[in-house]
Structure 1
Amino acid sequence: MNERIYRVLEFNKIIEQLTHQAATELGKDLCSQLKPSIDLNEVKETQHETDEASQVLRLNKTIPLGGIFDIRASIKRSVIGGILNADECLDVANTLYGGRQVKSFVEKLEEELPILKELVQRIFPLRDLETNIKSCIDDHGHMMDSASVKLRSIRSSIKTYESRLRDKLDNYTKTKSNMLSDAIITIRNDRYVLPVKQEYRGSIGGIVHDQSASGATLFMEPKTVVDLNNQLQESRANEKQEIERILRELSEYIASNETYIYENITVLAKIDFMFARAKLGKQMKAAMPSVNDRGIIKMQQARHPLIPLDEVVANDVELGETYTSIVITGPNTGGKTVTLKMIGLCTLMAQSGLQVPAFDGCEMSIFHNVFADIGDEQSIEQNLSTFSSHMTNIVNIIQQVNHKSLVLFDELGAGTDPQEGAALAMSILDEVVSRDARVIATTHYPELKAYGYNREQVVNASVEFDVETLQPTYRLLIGVPGRSNAFDISHRLGLNDSVIRHAKSLIGVDSKSVENMIASLEQSRKLAESDYQEAHQILLESEQLKQDIEKEWKQFKQKREELYKKAEEKANKALQKAREEATSIVDEIRNMKTQANIKEHEWIEAKKMLDDAKPNLSSKQPREDKSSSEPETELHPGDEIKLLSVNQKGSILEKVTDHEYLVQVGIMKVKVKRSDLQLVSKQRQINDKPLATVKGSNYHVRTELDLRGERFEEAILKVEKYIDDALLAGYPRVSIIHGKGTGALRKGVQELAKKHPSISTYRNGEAGEGGSGVTVLEFR
């Protein structure tokens, strides 16, 4: 990748923002070295790494990266035999502790995070080394008395000598205070001394270590304390030697674990790097792009990453599938250059493993080179004009461009004669397009407004300008070339109408035709947008009305079921009471059967008739009694009926006479009179419409619903409506395409499926169905 492109597209500013997100010097070092990759698998891997870290951030959990230091230089010095100081040893211990904390944090996460969990397995907890260092050095970097028995003994003797010295010198301050400039004990050259007046030098006696600036005061060590001071200095020298010995042992211990420590800090640096990328993505409200090597770019509501969220205007961008080049026209300060830089910068970010500021479902391509000719690069030192500077850069681009290149031209052909510049611009575009590169160019030339209409791989675009407010809207309009607003703007600013009319008469017929065509396209677009908004509002209202009706219908059915249940319970109680009374009467009569000479089988038959007297009540609807005056409904073959004499359901096979039918009941075919038949349901009419058509409408339903690029709330509403339509169409299963992205949309769809009463199961798509980017729903 050309290093110059990082400066032109301001990729270095992205790196600065990324570096600020890192928590450790190790991570900051990796961030500062970040460069776009041209390897598709490597880019996919880094994007998945960033996405895993983003999942942790979405859980509002903070990875503990505090207390981790860049100890690489210390480790290297210990390996070559150097002795680390106490602070360096403490940094090693703290880094080992930080690594253990990170490992524990990731292992406790319940989410599927294969990359992070594989990384922390490489962290080796060197507890013995960490404990040894912490047992010798305190949190402030001081060697503790407990570091060794010898050190404890030496420091005890030092305290004893210091105490005895102070006692002796205190005696001087009390008994000979008149000989002292001040009754205090001080230190010179690491030895305890007294401030003695010059005239009493002989009276005190001893060694002079220093004197005041005036010479009136001498700092003397009395003879009586010289031996004690010597013993104190010797103990301090022993202390220093013992501390050095302990630090040498710790340094050797650290050097012996060099491999494990280096592996730990390498993993910690990578984890910090991953989370820095994720934090930057969260700050930009960015999404993970899917990556391809076919030159296809698709971004919905993409934003320039360096413009504040409350100021930037989002735009939809597509390139590389239907067309390979976009020519953008429009006024100055209208946002053409910003759009150009946004596409180039998002490309570099995606290839660097960074998320891009766009909606979920965005798609970016891997380019081996991104070229840009943007801005005025006039060089006074090289004596080049603006045109010459641009042309020198363009020549270099054309020499290197191929089908793996993304080329960005800003004001192509500017800086020279307009007619020649326009012709040169079209020729350059033709050359670059012919090499199958992906091209985005901006221009002022009216000749290029019709360029896209004559080339299959090129599409026109423009940045919108509001003539009423005389302000650009910064919206990118794909398929509509920009038109000149000079006359409209001049009129709004008060220029005389006669001057404007005269100016219009001076422009050519072709220019007028092009401007009229563009004006017509803009008007058609605005009408289409207005109609879309109105239709969308009606759709929302209809969906709300449908939901209200379904809710009331559900409540009605529930109430009806409750009433049926109460009626059946009441009838059952009445029948049970009547049956008990009848049974009691039959039992009494039976006791008298010997007098009445009634046979046993007659009593059994009477008992059976009593049992059969209970009607068959349905929980769905009460059985209707046929009125003798009600006319009999004519039955047809295929109608479902109930044979009243045997209380069995069957179907009509054919009509024998006006009052007799041939019916199928189970495996039997019998002729039955019409009076013994009750109609259950008429034969269902065959729907001649295709399965993809919702019954009762002309609305066709596909077997899949594509939600990529949709906002979460709108997507869920669409899924609810689509499920209703698919159920009406009679589909056994459908597919919901939501893309992989952050996984939020997939989770929302599957939560909805879990609660929907008409969905039996749901699953992720198979390898040939779209994988985890698709959810397949099975209906009951």
Structure 2
Amino acid sequence: YVIPLKADFKGRIPGIVHDQSASGATVFIEPISTVALNNRWRELQLEEEREVQRILAGLSNLVAEEGEFIKRTVEALAELDLAFAKAKYAEEIEGVEPKLVAFRKVAGGLHPGSSIQLIKARHPLLDPATVVPVDVHLDDDYFIIVITGPNTGGKTVSLKTVGLLSLMAQCGLAIPAAEGSALSIFSDIYADIGDEQSIEQSLSTFSAHITNVINILGQAEERSLVLLDDLGAGTAPGEGSAIARALLSHLLRRRITTFIATHYPELKFYAHTTPGVENACVEFDLETLSPTYELSIGLPGRSNAFAIARRLGLSPEIVSQAEGLVSPESLETEGLLAEIKQAHREALASQEAAEAARRQVENLERELRQELADIERTRREILSTAREEAKQKLEEVRVELRKIRAGLGLAAVSQEWVAQAEDRLASLEPKPIEPVVQPRFMPQKPLRLGDTVWVAGLQATGEITELTGDEAEVQVGSFRIRAAVGDLELRSRAAQPEVRERAVSVPRVASPGLELNLLGQTVEEVLPRLDKYLNDAYLAGLPQVRIIHGKGTGALRRAVRDFVASHPLVASWRP
């Protein structure tokens, strides 16, 4: 510690001068009396620093001993953080998981086997609430798409959407598209999009595009994806169109999947007449003079210059004169394009209406099936309750009859009267519940061998083992039954087709009664009879039965109980 002191008074306090101010008017003196204290304070500071260094070194050694485990933990946390980030981003863009498909072999040898199926795809950087989704797809007939249409119509955005979504899918990200979208895994994705003119490098727009295209052609191969915007632009239209067609032919020969945006009408004709190449266009609304941003594959874009000029108020005389300067073939082509687009639009509307009607019918059929099932379940519950009540009443009457019989002894007339009463009671035995005949619905999809179906008559599921015309044989548990195809409801498809087996139809049987008396019989005699009784009771629709085996040595009781406990048609049993 020092004391600031005017230079004129520095001799009044004995001490060590450590510094002075810039003007020299003030000096900083350490008094002699504090030198020892300052030295001790400094020593303690150094000791503190050494202790801190010792503690930190010890902690560092402890951390180093667990370094490998800490490294693995950090890597695992990084993977978890990435997974959560992907999930959060997918939620923000309302994305779906795309299906990644391998390159496939296509008949003909020209197609590289790439697949792009984007349904309602959106550019990931545009507002999901306002962006117009596009459908992009490749099929076995083409792998190069030429997109035409007006400026600001969405051509470049469509190219960027295809490229970005392909990269996102290959990075393991969800893509902003609808379910069912699928993409191939491209080895490389190249793009020449935007104006790359440079004053420093003395590059014009045309030069910049050609330089990028040259670099792309030097690296691209069959499993690459190439995106080219305004191919051949920036120079004379005739020469630019010729270069664009030559580049398209080169990419076609090399079997490279390519998307191109252009204004050249010659490329429309090229795409229409060249196998492996397909036209596409972005739509334009002449009423509002604004693009709709919708992409239509299979139709070339129209030139709307004359229509736009009329809508904006250009003199009809000037527009008519301009149309006269265009060849009649071009005007006729534009008219045919307009008619084709209108027919295409009407066909799509009809298809959507038919699909909506089909979905409505399916929903109605599903609701009717559910209502019928509910009605049948309620009916069975009511009848089961009534049968239980009737059985209780009959049992009470039987108990009373047994008491009367015991009191009458051997009186012949009375015994005859009791027998008649018992016969009368037997005629009042509740009948099995007859199932309601369900109306026949055509199955939603054709049934196949091995399919799991719902058998409404048995209220059970089974597996189809044979199909003959309008009838099917269904395996339900250990039984096979025959039923009309319209009475079966598909629940799940078979993984593999099953081998056909010989049909064994089960005939309907009459009710075997609610009670089986096995008293006085051996185990060998009882088991076949008991199995047939249970089968007949199940086919007759009896909800429960009673089996009398007696006590005796216990062998028959044990055999009956073991057999009932393991029988597939017995849901539960009690002694």
TM-score by length of 1: 0.51
Taking only the aligned residue pairs, the percentage that are identical comes to 40
Paired with 2:341 and 2:462, the residues of 1 have a C-alpha distance of 41
Could you tell me which amino acid in structure 1 is paired with residue 93 of structure 2?
M
Q: Which residue in 2 is equivalent to 1:460?
A: 279
In structure 1, what is the equivalent of residue 328 of structure 2?
509
* Counterpart amino acid of residue 508 in structure 1: S
Name the residue aligned to 2:314.
Answer: 495
* Cα distance in 1, alignment partners of residues 139 and 362 from structure 2: 36
Q: Give, as a single letter, the amino acid of the residue that structure 2 aligns with 1:286.
A: G
Provide, for residues 498-522 of structure 1, a one-character-per-residue CA deviation record: whole Å limited to 9, x for no partner: 4434433432233233223321221
Higher relative contact order (CA 8 A, sep 6+): 1
Structure 1 205/445 Cα, relative in aligned 2: closer, same or farther at 3 Å?
A: closer
Q: CA RMSD in A?
A: 4.3
In structure 2, the residue corresponding to 1:324 is in which secondary structure? Answer: strand
Structure 1 or 2: larger helix share? 1
Aligned to 1:231: 40
Instruction: Give 1:160-179 correspondences, 5 Å limit.
Output: none
Q: 1:560 to 1:247 in 2, by over 3 A?
A: closer
Shift of 1:762: 6.9
Taking the TM superposition and a 5 Å limit, the aligned residue runs for 1:354-503 are 354-381=173-200, 383-503=202-322
**Does the CA contact (< 8 Å) of 1:328 and 1:482 recur in 2?**
yes
User: By how many angstroms is 1:386 displaced?
Assistant: 3.3
Residue 460 of structure 1: how far off its partner (Å) = 1.0
| CA distance in structure 2 between the aligned counterparts of 1:258 and 1:588, rounded to whole angstroms | 97
| 2:166 counterpart of 1:352 | no
Q: Report the Cα offset of residue 493 of structure 1.
A: 1.8
| DSSP-derived class of the 1:468 partner | coil
Q: Distance in 1 between matches of 2:234 and 2:41?
A: 84
- Once residues 497 and 316 of structure 1 are traced to their aligned partners in structure 2, the CA distance between those partners, rounded to angstroms, is 38
Paired residue type of 1:512: L
CA displacement, residues 140-188 of structure 1 (integer Å, 9 cap, x when unaligned): xxxxxxxxxxxxxxxxxxxxxxxxxxxxxxxxxxxxxxxxxxxxxxx33
* 1:437-495 Cα shifts (integer Å, max 9, x gaps): 00111121222223333223111110011111111011111111111112222222223
Matched position secondary structure for 2:230: coil
Aligned residue number for residue 428 of structure 2: 614
Query: How far, CA to CA, are the matches of 2:217 and 2:26 in structure 1?
Result: 85
**Cα deviation code 1:203-250 (max 9, x no counterpart):** 765555566788887765554444333333333332333333333444
Does 1:291 find its partner at 2:97? no
**AA aligned opposite 1:319:** L
Tell me whether 1:243 sits opposite 2:52 in the alignment: yes
Over residues 363-405 of structure 1, what are the superposed CA-to-partner deviations in whole Å (9 max), with x where a residue is unaligned? Answer: 2223333333323333445555433443343344334433122
Once residues 200 and 381 of structure 1 are traced to their aligned partners in structure 2, the CA distance between those partners, rounded to angstroms, is 69
- Residues 702/388 of structure 1: CA separation in 2 closer, same or farther (3 Å cut): farther
Number of the residue aligned with 2:571: none
- CA displacement 1:538-597 (0-9 Å, x = unmatched): 34544454455445434543443354345435544554555455555544443645xx7x
Partner of residue 305, structure 1 = 124
Residue 147 of structure 1: aligned partner:
none
Per-residue CA deviation, residues 574-631 of structure 1 (Å, 9 max, x unaligned), is: 54555455555544443645xx7x9x9x799668646634334223479xxxxxxxxx
**2: distance between equivalents of 1:324 and 1:565?**
66
Alpha-carbon offset, residue 423 of structure 1: 3.4
Q: Matched residue of 1:488: which SS?
A: helix
Supply the AA of the counterpart residue of 1:407: V
| Partner in structure 2 of residue 30 of structure 1 | none
Q: How many residues align?
A: 457
Tell me, in whole angstroms, the C-alpha distance in 1 between the residues paired with 2:332 and 2:132: 31
Q: Compare 581-590 and 481-490 and name the one that shifted more.
A: 581-590
Give the 3 Å change call, closer, same or farther, for CA 566–469 of structure 1 in structure 2.
same
Whether the 8 Å contact between 2:283 and 2:291 is mirrored in structure 1 is yes
Change (3 A) 1:401 1:320: farther
1:299 deviates by 1.5
Letter in 2 for 1:523: Q
What is the alpha-carbon distance in structure 2 between the residues aligned to residue 204 and residue 495 of structure 1?
100
Q: What displacement does 1:342 show?
A: 1.8
Give ranges in structure 1 of 5+ residues lacking alignment: 1-186, 189-193, 623-680, 685-693, 705-721, 734-757, 767-780
Q: Output aligned runs, 1:92-241, within 5 Å.
A: 187-188=1-2, 205-207=14-16, 209=18, 221-241=30-50
Aligned counterpart, 1:325: 144
Q: Is the 8 A contact 1:319 1:438 kept in 2?
A: no
Instruction: Answer yes or no: is the 8 Å Cα contact 1:373–1:409 preserved in 2.
Output: yes
The structure-2 alpha-carbon separation of the partners of 1:233 and 1:477, relative to structure 1 and needing over 3 Å to count, comes to: same
Change beyond 3 A, Cα 1:452–1:202 = closer
Could you tell me how far apart the structure 2 residues matched to 1:223 and 1:373 are?
A: 80
